[in-house]
Chains A and B, each alone.
Chain A
């Protein structure tokens, strides 16, 4: 009986999130346009300027568009994770978060379901993006498209957990612009999404180190290797550990007695 309760609640939460996403066409389109602009405009422009040497998982010289694709997949998931957290802050302000929180289930489970739901949405976006990229002749083998799925699940959960963590600390919706400037942009630019590590090292040792320890880089590398049917152990462990740390802090943040909710109280 209890298992069925968890099961139904999980599908209820995932179903609601997917349905909302499909209904919000603007969100769907903007989630796709962002990486596509980077792919078609930015990457095409930089193709001539940047030479990419052969480095794993690539076995031949590749075009810059090919290099940047896993980074853009990461970008989709990063934005999605932050957007989910934005919707948590919004839900909290609007009150629908309270409906979730008064459900007779443990809070960690409810937060985990939210996270799974957000990740499912991001994976949907990624596959649509990969389909468009396929027509643009950025193609991997069919097996690669399958291999990447578990990588996407983990990276999506990790970035979603980061969003969740932030949402438990953000007081109001207005503060979200700060997340954009202080989280999304630095994470994206100081990573291996746009440039390989060795290239960063050429320009700055500090930037190289920051990128190396940036969990977003590891998520991108995990995706990059998985697309070529390879398994990057370091990236897997790093991403998993980051996920565990982020989710643990988020759960504490949403705990009614320990968390930040108490400080947000009014009236």
Chain B
């Protein structure tokens, strides 16, 4: 039986000039799976995200989203993808609603469906009351929530998050971590989440550890622990990368 993975990366390499940022990277993220991408700074996480979102093209290797090749069928592939970038990408001078409507338009949603989904998703994250506020006036945690809402409007199969909790206070961080995990569990959404904060990992998550452009480990937590012979993820991470985790 073959099930199409939400995200599949095969033999991917990428270099900036002569400096290799990714070296023969392969892994997959299945539906309903929350896969945590761990790696120290400069490991190649951002490059990997830039390639998956097609900011750059790789010359070597292949990325498919729900079976669609990102280079050859980029529009079909990108339609499956919801992204929360590391930096906030909302327009601060527009209201929450305007930002979300803009995104809905880019994905070709009609007015009625857009309105419905915006209300649904905002309500789910307790943000509906704030829909008319300017993004500039929201705090960091609320901005992140709006970005998650935005990433889900077109009902993607894969949610990509690039260190979305950086700079947030502990309660906001916990709320977001919990919400994203529930998306994978309740709706079968595939989640690929880059972070360097180990306390954001749940015991049922999958891990992909990347270091110096190479995948050092990939699998569920027990597999990774067995591979390294470590007692916990902190130790496993330190062994794989030679660094302490946060």
Docked CA distance A71–B94 (Å) = 34
Report the minimal beta-carbon distance from B207 to chain A, rounded to whole angstroms: 21
Chain B neighbourhood of A261, CB < 8 A: 55-56
Task: Determine if B91 and A104 form an interchain contact, defined as CB atoms under 8 angstroms apart.
Answer: no
- Closest A residue, CB atoms, query B88: A95
B79-96 interface bits toward A, Cβ cutoff 8 Å, 1 = contact, 0 = none: 101010111111101100
Question: Which residues of chain A come closer than 8 Å to B83, judged between CB atoms?
Answer: 98-99, 102
Q: What per-residue 1/0 map shows which CB atoms of A95-130 lie under 8 Å from chain B?
A: 110111111111000000000000000000000000
B172 within 8 A of A: no
| Interfacial chain B residues near A103, Cβ < 8 Å | 78, 106-107
Q: How far in angstroms is the closest Cβ of chain B from A84?
A: 15
CB-CB under 8 A from B89, the residues of chain A are: 94-96, 98-99
Contacts of B109 in A (CB 8 A): 8
Contact assessment for A104 and B57 in the assembled complex, using a CB-CB cutoff below 8 Å = no
* Complex-state Cα separation, A91 to B104, whole angstroms: 19
B54 touches A101 (CB 8 A): yes
Is A9's CB under 8 angstroms from B105's CB? yes
Q: Does B187 contact A (CB under 8 A)?
A: no
Tell me, yes or no, whether A56 is within 8 Å of chain B by CB: no
A16-B91, A104-B78 known; A265 vs B107 contact (CB < 8 Å): no
Q: Which of chain A's residues have a CB closer than 8 A to the CB of B108?
A: 1, 4-6, 8-9, 104
Question: Bound state CA distance, A1 and B107, in angstroms?
Answer: 12
In the assembled complex, which residues on chain A have CB atoms less than 8 Å from the CB atom of B117?
A: none
The answer to whether A265 touches B79, judged by C-beta atoms less than 8 angstroms apart, is no
B47 within 8 A of A: yes
Q: Which residues of B contact A13 (CB under 8 A)?
A: 102, 105-106
A257 to B105, Cβ gap below 8 A? no
Shortest B93–chain A CB gap in Å is: 6
- Known contacts A4-B110, A104-B78, A256-B55: A99-B103 contact under CB 8 Å: yes
**Using an 8 Å CB-CB cutoff, how does the interface string of A1-42 with B read, 1 for contact, 0 for none?**
100111011011101100110011000000000000000000
Chain B 108-134 residues near chain A, CB threshold 8 A: 108-110
**Does B75 count as interface, using CB distance less than 8 angstroms?**
yes
Q: Provide the B35-74 mask, 1 if CB < 8 A to any CB of A, else 0.
A: 0000001101111001001111101000000000001001
With contact pairs A12-B101, A16-B94, A95-B87 given, residues A100 and B106 touching in the complex (Cβ less than 8 Å):
yes
Q: How many residues of B contact A (CB 8 A)?
A: 44
Give bound CA distance, A103 to B151, whole Å.
11
Q: How far is the CA of A19 from the CA of B93 in the complex (A)?
A: 10
Q: Are B57 and A266 within 8 A (Cβ)?
A: no
Does chain A have a CB within 8 A of B76?
A: yes
Cα A105 to Cα B108 in complex, Å, equals 10
Contact in complex: B45, A256 (CB < 8 Å)? no
Query: B79 to A104, Cβ gap below 8 A?
Result: yes
Main secondary structure of the interface of A (DSSP, over half): helix
A267 interfacial contact with B, CB 8 Å: yes
Task: Give the nearest-CB partner of B81 in chain A.
Answer: A102
Asked whether A12 lies within 8 Å of B105 as measured between CB atoms, the reply is yes
Does B42 lie within 8 Å of A105, measured CB to CB? no
Q: How far is the CB of B53 from chain A (nearest CB, A)?
A: 5
> Which residue, of A94, A99, A262, has the highest number of chain B Cβ atoms within 10 A?
A99
Quick one: given A4-B108, A4-B110, A8-B105, are A257 and B47 in contact (CB under 8 Å)? Answer: no
Asked whether, in the complex, the Cβ of A257 is within 8 Å of the Cβ of B106, the reply is: no
Instruction: Tell me, in angstroms, the Cα distance from A11 to B107 when the chains sit together.
Output: 12
- Flag whether B98 is at the interface (Cβ < 8 A): yes
Interchain CB contact under 8 A, B56 and A265: yes
Chain A residues near B (Cβ < 8 Å): 1, 4-6, 8-9, 11-13, 15-16, 19-20, 23-24, 94-96, 98-106, 256-257, 261-263, 265-267
Taking A265-B47, A266-B46 as given, write out 4 further A-B residue pairs in contact, using a Cβ cutoff of 8 Å, ordered by the A residue number: A11-B105, A12-B104, A256-B55, A265-B56
Interface residues, chain B, CB within 8 Å of chain A?
A: 16, 21, 41-42, 44-47, 50, 53-57, 59, 71, 74-79, 81, 83, 85-91, 93-94, 98, 101-110
Chosen A-B contacts, 7 in total, with CB atoms closer than 8 Å, are: A4-B108, A98-B55, A99-B103, A99-B106, A257-B59, A263-B16, A265-B50
4 nearest A-B residue pairs (beta carbon): A12-B105, A5-B108, A257-B57, A267-B46
